[in-house]
Amino acid sequence: MSDQRETNAQKLAQQVGATLRSIRKEREMSLQDLAEVTDVSKLTLGKIERGEANPSLTVIWKIANGLSIPISSLLAEKEEVVISRKNKGNKVLSSNEDLTLEPMFTNSGYGSLETHRAFLKPGGQYYAEAHQEGVVEYVTVMEGKATVQVLEETFELNMYDSIKFKADQRHGYLNPNLHPAVLHFVMIYPNAKQQP
């Protein structure tokens, strides 16, 4: 099982790297330019582009925010009909490995909407940096319970409860329970830059 996970992580690292390099070249940016807009070091970005590093969810968010694109644009697989099956697609882990994010449907056109499945470990927590300006996030608890924090305010959600909030501010997800929580995310990017 760990061999399969390692193979999937390598595949994801190569895919993210190739996509990032392609976007950077399209925009005629140097690695230094990219480092400046993403607040990720030039060395790290170079390793990501070469597929030598498997970036954490935090790093992927920084890159997507710096480029003003949905994170699914970095994880895009080019297929016309896609079925999203649990545990079959790409996975991105938070740096503390409490949250596993599975992009459900990705697109390569830097679209304005993306959907994700997320699995939050019992007792786990994940705090997100502010997303791009104007991003709105919709979260539904599909299994278990979760606490969503937006700035200093917390909201308790039970199974099938949903919340909508502006994600261009600090927010987080906590699972104070003994069972995993499964979350469904929909993110709307009103200012997403379209592919040239």
Task: Give the pLDDT band (50/70/90) at residue 74.
Answer: confident
Q: Are residues 180 and 101 in the same domain?
A: yes
0.75 exceeded by pTM: no
Identify the residue with better confidence: 40 or 58.
40
Structural domain including 156 reads 92-188
Q: Residue type at 181?
A: A
Task: Give the pLDDT band (50/70/90) at residue 81.
Answer: low
* Separation in Å, CA 150 to CA 63, 106, 142: 22, 26, 20
pLDDT higher than 50, residue 148:
yes
Q: Which residue has the tokens 């644009």?
A: 73
CATH of residue 54's domain is 1.10.260.40
**Domain count for the chain:** 2
Q: Please count the residues of the chain.
A: 196
The pLDDT, as a whole number, for residue 73 is 76
pLDDT higher than 50, residue 108:
no
CATH of residue 137's domain is 2.60.120.10
Environment class of 3 (CB within 10 Å of its CB; exposed 0-12, middle 13-18, buried 19+): exposed
With beta carbons less than 8 A apart as the criterion, state whether 111 and 32 touch: no
Q: Is residue 143 part of a domain?
A: yes
pLDDT higher than 90, residue 132:
no
Q: Is residue 195 part of a domain?
A: no
Environment class of 194 (CB within 10 Å of its CB; exposed 0-12, middle 13-18, buried 19+): exposed
Q: Is residue 61 part of a domain?
A: yes
